[in-house]
């Protein structure tokens, strides 16, 4: 026979007290979650927002707890986009390809594929941020079902509207729960960004202030120029390096990252155009390009972009006194080498003199050691009937000093090796 415990007055008194303590705990949680944002330079965040603006799927790679989910939450709030989070590994392939629904007359009407409820909500809203979390824990069958979602924006019979952006996050296989490598077809559909923590950003954020995510401001007047620049950059590189058009990596791990294909080169072209129109920094563009076609091809593309920005050697030779040379040392060296090559191709006394005047200007406006190699090469181009210009005297000391430094460095290296 069950024993009934009598309900006492103490119980009635403790219930409201417990409820009030939970209310106080809720107030404390609200205060802890009350944060603000501030404009702050953040290369990772800028690259992410630029790729989102370009309507390209982005995949954030990072160790657990690094802040990938928090960054996406802040991004959705800053862009005023409803956030829909889907953890792919807890879904079946049919959740992304659609569940078959038999109607009244399947022979006439067919069997439609019903989409999941979260896809219906996104279509009804017309805009949003679809966050595919823990992507590296999705088994191969689920990854295959995601292909059409990521590329064509289709789930069952529905197509996501243009206002929906797709961002995913993944942990490296070594630190993922029951992790898998991404399949090459799925990996090649994403812009891969390595997400790392910045000590100052974390400390500032724990203090209540996080960086503000804002969409890039595109200059309407630069749009045609940006598209032309991007097309010339990508097509120029691939014309000279046809093997870079498609390179499927040999190792399974690298196939799950960024690698070059016609699809990823097309994404790179879009990102270069957006970065150019937005005036993005080289660091941001480097993250995006390398995250699309891989480190090797990406660095080659960046070098190609640098060469496109070099001044025309003929323009420099036409007005050496007023020439504007690049500030970066490697670009200045390339510009001077280009001038010497132009003189070699069309040797002329006036052009030879103009090249020497340009080297003098380079010494006056930058590091003197950058003119040593161009000056040495230019001297070999002199014809017997060409008088030596007076400007050479101003460079002689620089060249001599540089050669002495080189000889001293060589002697030091020999002595160090002998003393071992």
| 381 and 282 inside one domain | no
| 410 and 388 inside one domain | yes
| 245 and 370 inside one domain | no
Q: Which pLDDT belongs to residue 3?
A: 54
9 within some domain: no
Number of domains in the chain: 3
| 291 and 367 inside one domain | no
| 333 and 228 inside one domain | no
| 74 and 155 inside one domain | yes
| 51 and 182 inside one domain | yes
pLDDT in tens, the chain (420 residues): 455 555 455 555 555 666 688 889 999 999 998 888 888 888 999 999 999 999 999 999 988 888 888 888 888 988 899 999 999 888 888 888 777 776 666 666 666 777 888 999 999 999 999 999 988 888 889 999 899 899 889 888 889 999 999 999 998 866 655 668 889 999 999 999 999 888 888 898 889 888 888 888 999 999 999 999 999 999 989 988 899 999 999 888 889 999 999 999 999 999 999 999 999 999 999 999 999 999 999 999 998 888 877 888 888 889 888 888 888 887 888 888 888 988 899 988 899 888 888 888 888 887 777 888 888 888 888 888 888 777 676 676 555 544 444 454 455 555 556 655
Q: Which pLDDT belongs to residue 397?
A: 59
**183, 150 Cβ separation under 8 angstroms:** no
| 63 and 184 inside one domain | yes
| 317 and 240 inside one domain | no
Q: Which pLDDT belongs to residue 29?
A: 92
The domain in which residue 174 lies consists of: 37-101+111-211
Q: Which pLDDT belongs to residue 124?
A: 93
| 178 and 117 inside one domain | yes
d(CA 385, CA 177): 77
| 79 and 196 inside one domain | yes
Q: Where is the domain boundary, 177, 211, 245? A: 211
CATH of the domain at 166: 3.40.50.300
10 within some domain: no
Q: Where is the domain boundary, 243, 275, 308? A: 308
Q: Where is the domain boundary, 211, 244, 265? A: 211
| 56 and 164 inside one domain | yes
């Amino acid at each position: 026979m069950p024993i009934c415990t009598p309900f006492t007055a103490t119980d009635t008194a403790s219930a409201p007290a417990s409820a009030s303590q939970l209310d106080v705990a809720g107030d404390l949680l609200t205060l802890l979650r009350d944060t603000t944002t501030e404009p702050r330079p953040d290369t990772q965040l800028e690259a992410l927002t630029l790729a989102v603006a370009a309507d390209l799927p982005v995949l954030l790679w990072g160790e657990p707890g690094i802040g990938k989910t928090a960054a996406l939450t802040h991004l959705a709030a800053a862009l005023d986009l409803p956030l829909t989070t889907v953890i792919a590994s807890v879904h079946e392939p049919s959740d992304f390809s659609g569940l078959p629904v038999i109607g009244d007359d399947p022979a006439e009407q067919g069997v439609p594929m019903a989409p999941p409820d979260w896809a219906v909500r996104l279509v009804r809203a017309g805009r949003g941020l679809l966050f595919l979390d823990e992507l590296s824990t999705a088994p191969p069958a689920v990854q295959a079902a995601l292909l059409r979602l990521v590329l064509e924006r289709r789930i069952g019979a529905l197509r996501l509207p243009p206002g929906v952006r797709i961002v995913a996050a993944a942990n490296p296989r070594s630190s993922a729960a029951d992790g898998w490598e991404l399949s090459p077809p799925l990996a090649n559909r994403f812009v891969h960004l390595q997400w790392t923590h910045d000590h100052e950003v974390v400390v500032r954020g724990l203090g209540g202030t996080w960086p503000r995510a804002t969409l890039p401001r595109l200059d309407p007047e630069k749009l045609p120029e940006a598209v032309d620049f991007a097309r010339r950059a990508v097509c120029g590189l691939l014309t000279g390096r046809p093997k870079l058009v498609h390179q499927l990596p040999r190792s399974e791990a690298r196939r799950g990252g960024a690698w070059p294909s016609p699809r990823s080169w097309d994404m790179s072209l879009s990102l270069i155009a957006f970065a150019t129109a937005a005036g993005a920094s080289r660091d941001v563009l480097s993250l995006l390009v390398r995250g699309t076609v891989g480190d090797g091809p990406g660095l080659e593309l960046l070098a190609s972009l640098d060469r496109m920005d070099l001044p025309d050697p003929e323009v420099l030779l036409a007005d050496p006194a007023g020439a504007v040379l690049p500030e970066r040392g490697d670009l200045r060296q390339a510009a001077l080498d280009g001038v010497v090559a132009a003189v070699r191709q069309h040797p002329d006394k006036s052009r030879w003199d103009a090249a020497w005047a340009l080297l003098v200007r380079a010494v006056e406006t930058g590091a003197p050691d950058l003119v040593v190699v161009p000056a040495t090469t230019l001297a070999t181009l002199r014809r017997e009937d060409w008088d030596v210009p007076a400007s050479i005297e101003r460079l002689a000391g620089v060249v001599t000093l540089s050669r002495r430094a080189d000889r001293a460095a060589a002697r030091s290296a020999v002595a160090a090796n002998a003393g071992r």
